[in-house]
Chain A
Amino acid sequence: MMSVTARSGLLAQYLSASSQVVATQLRPTVCLAAPLSSKITLAPRKENLTTESLKQLVPKCGNVRVSSGPHGPMQVRYAHTDIQYPDFSDYRRQPVSDPKTSSEPSSVSRRAFTYAMVGASGVVGAYAAKNIVQELLSTMSASADVLALAKVEVDLKTIAEGKSICVKWRGKPLFVRHRTGDEIETEKGVDVESLRHKEHDDERVKRPEWLILIGVCTHLGCVPIAHAGEYGGYFCPCHGSHYDTSGRIRKGPAPENLEVPEYTFSDDTTVVVG
C-alpha cells in the first residue's frame, strides 16, 4: 500500500503520515496496550535456549507480524556459504575453461566457430530444401514414358522432292514436305505485307527444302489436303481455305498460318519433331 501512495506526488505528505500509522501499528504494541490490563509476567528464563523457550518470551496475543518499509513484509535472507556450485567445466570451451581469465581475446574465434556451425547447417538445409522443391516440381511434369512418346522421328530419305507425307504426332497429323526449288523461290518472293498473317518464309522453315507443319486448319480444325488449292500448297475442304507451299493462309476463312512445331534435324536425313 505504501509503495503505491509514496509515488503519488502531492499527497505524499498525508500519506507519509498515514504510513507512520501503519508502521507503528504493530500488533505486539497494540496488543500490549489495549487488551491486557494486568501486568505482563514473563516466564522465568530457561537455561537452554530452545525454540520453545524463546517463543515464551514473545508476548502472546495472536500472530506476530512485523512489517516495515514501503514494500510491506520483508524477508531476511541468510547467505549460505556451504552451497556447492555445479562444475560447468565440461560445458565450457577450452579458451574460457578458466573462469578467472578474460574471455575477450578468444571471443572472435569462438564466434567464428559458432557461425561456422550455423553456416554448415545452412548449407545442408539449402541443399535439402532445393532437392525437396525440385522433387516436388518434378512430380508435376510429364513422366518419362509420356515424354518419349511426345517425339516422332521422320526419315527424310523416303520423301522425294515435291512430295508430302503425313505422320501422326501427339494425335494430330504432321505434314512433312520436300519442297522443290521453284516452290522455295516463289515463297521467298512473296510480299509479307500482303499476307493476312505476316510471316516470312524464313521464319517458318529451318532448311528451305523441308517444310514441317501441323496439319490442322486454323479455321475450325479440319485436315487440309496437300498439293491442292490455288497456291499449290494445302487446301482445306471444309470451308475452302487456301494455304501456300509455306503453309501460310492466302485465301479463305482461316485466320492464321498453319502451325510450325518445334523440330530439330538430328542428322542430314532425320528430323525429330517434338
Chain B
Amino acid sequence: MFLRTVYNTIFRRSSAFALSILVGAVFFERAFDQGGTALFESMNKGKLWKDIKDDFEKNDNGGGDDDE
C-alpha cells in the first residue's frame, strides 16, 4: 500500500523525516516563488516593463544610432 511505503521510508526515522522536510522545502520554495511571480504578472498584465518594452525600444534604437 502506498501510505505504508511512504510511512516506512520517510516517517519512520526522524533523520529521514527531517531530511525530507528540508528537501521538500527546496522544491516548495521554487514552486511557491515561481507561482507567486506568475500570479503577480498575470494580475499586472500590460503594466510591466516586458509588456511595454517594444514600444520604447523602437524609438530607442533610432536615438542610440544618432548618439553614436
Contact = CB atoms under 8 A, between A and B. Distances in A.
A130 B29 contact: yes
B25 A112 contact: no
Given A108-B3, A109-B3, A115 B11 contact: yes
Chain B binding site: helix, strand, loop or mixed by DSSP? helix
A113 B21 CA distance: 15
B24 interface: yes
Interface residues of A, number: 15
Contacts of B24: 119-120, 122-123
Given A119-B17, A127-B32, A111 B11 contact: yes
B55 to A, nearest CB: 27
A48 B36 CA distance: 83
Contacts of B4: 108-109, 112
Interface in A93-131: 108-109, 111-113, 115-116, 119-120, 122-124, 126-127, 130
Given A108-B4, A112-B6, A116-B6, 18 more contacts: A108-B7, A109-B3, A109-B7, A112-B7, A112-B11, A113-B3, A115-B7, A115-B11, A115-B17, A119-B20, A119-B21, A119-B24, A122-B24, A123-B21, A123-B28, A126-B21, A127-B28, A127-B29
Interface of B: 1, 3-4, 6-7, 10-11, 17, 20-22, 24-25, 28-29, 32
14 contacts: A109-B3, A109-B4, A111-B7, A112-B3, A112-B4, A116-B6, A116-B11, A119-B10, A119-B11, A119-B17, A119-B24, A124-B28, A126-B22, A127-B28
